[in-house]
Amino acid sequence: MGESVVADFLGRVYAPDLGCDEPVPGRVLLSQRRLVLATDETKTTIPLSSVFDVVAGQVPGDLRSFFSDSVTVAFERDGSRRAALVEGDTAEVDRFVRQLFTALVADVRVTVRHPATVDGRVTDASDHTATVSLSTGAIRFEDRPDPFSVELSSVVDSERTRRTVAGAERPALVFRHVPDARTVTSVVTVPDERVLTLLGRYVELAYEDVKAEVESFDPTEEQLEVLGSIYSAGGEASVADVVTGDVTHTSMVLDTLREADLVVDGDEGTALTRKGQLVVTAHLESPDA
What are the chain's domains?
5-104 (2.30.29.30), 109-209 (2.30.29.30), 218-284 (1.10.10.10)
> What are the angstrom distances between the C-alpha of 89 and each of 67, 97, 113, 172, 205?
11, 12, 38, 34, 18
| Alpha carbons 110 and 130: distance in angstroms, whole number | 5
Assign 3-class secondary structure to 94-120: HHHHHHHHHHHCCCCEEEEEEEEEECC
**Quick one: pLDDT at residue 109?**
94
Is the pLDDT at 279 greater than 80, yes or no?
yes
Mean pLDDT, the chain, whole residue set: 85
Q: Residue 181: pLDDT band by 50, 70, 90 thresholds?
A: low
234, 183 Cβ separation under 8 angstroms: no
Q: Residue 210: pLDDT band by 50, 70, 90 thresholds?
A: low
**Quick one: pLDDT at residue 38?**
95
**Quick one: pLDDT at residue 287?**
45
**Per-residue buried b or exposed e for 249-261, using 16+ beta carbons within 10 Å of the residue's own CB:** ebeebbeebeebe
Least confident range from 4-13, 21-30, 180-189: namely 180-189
Run of H or E including 204: helix 193-204
**Quick one: pLDDT at residue 62?**
44
| Alpha carbons 271 and 289: distance in angstroms, whole number | 22
| Alpha carbons 102 and 284: distance in angstroms, whole number | 34
| Alpha carbons 39 and 26: distance in angstroms, whole number | 5
**Per-residue buried b or exposed e for 72-89, using 16+ beta carbons within 10 Å of the residue's own CB:** bbbbeeeeeebbbbbbbe
Backbone torsions φ then ψ of 67, nearest 5 degrees: -115, 150
Percent of residues, the chain, with pLDDT higher than 90: 47
Least confident range from 75-84, 125-134, 156-165: namely 156-165
Is the pLDDT at 10 greater than 80, yes or no?
yes
**Quick one: pLDDT at residue 162?**
94
